[in-house]
Amino acid sequence: MTTTIRLAGLELPRIGLGTNRLTSENVDFIRDAVAAGLRHIDTAHLYTGGESERAIGAAGVPDDVLVATKGGYGGAGQGRPEIVRAQIEQSLKSLRVDAIGLYYLHQVDPETPLEEGLGRSRSTSTGARSGTSASPTSASPSSSGRARWCRSRRCRTATTSRSAKTTA
């Protein structure tokens, strides 16, 4: 069995950190985990009311750590472009980054086709930020039923900066 996986164009250890219950009290824990070799953190804009993303942002994780976050949770209508755009903007602010390494829809919106929600969100979701925009890796969901976004350079190579363009 291999000890690494390829995710969003990066070779990562098979074990990552799920942050569903992190709070601002866990900033040192995140830093210690990264110092011990952690290279993948999974979060979502809604975890602990956004505090999980804010704690990760406060920890200041380095570029070689893939931070994956999610939005679009909460039922019908949550996959609409304007909702996803607002959640991406909030995640960028909370994580204190210019680009998100990997973005998932937490669940597929039964009222909004992926092509519409992701396609429209990609063109303007981070357009106000210099050099960034979001786009789906493809217009169809992954095998898990989730769509993903990632930085184009990260999708192809592990050497990027946080200011890299967020495209597929």
Catalytic positions, written as ranges: 47
Annotate 59-79 with b (16+ C-beta within 10 A) or e (fewer).
bebeeebbbbbbbbbeeeebb
Q: Report whether 54 contacts 77 (CB < 8 A).
A: no
Give the separation between CA 153 and CA 8, rounded to whole angstroms.
9
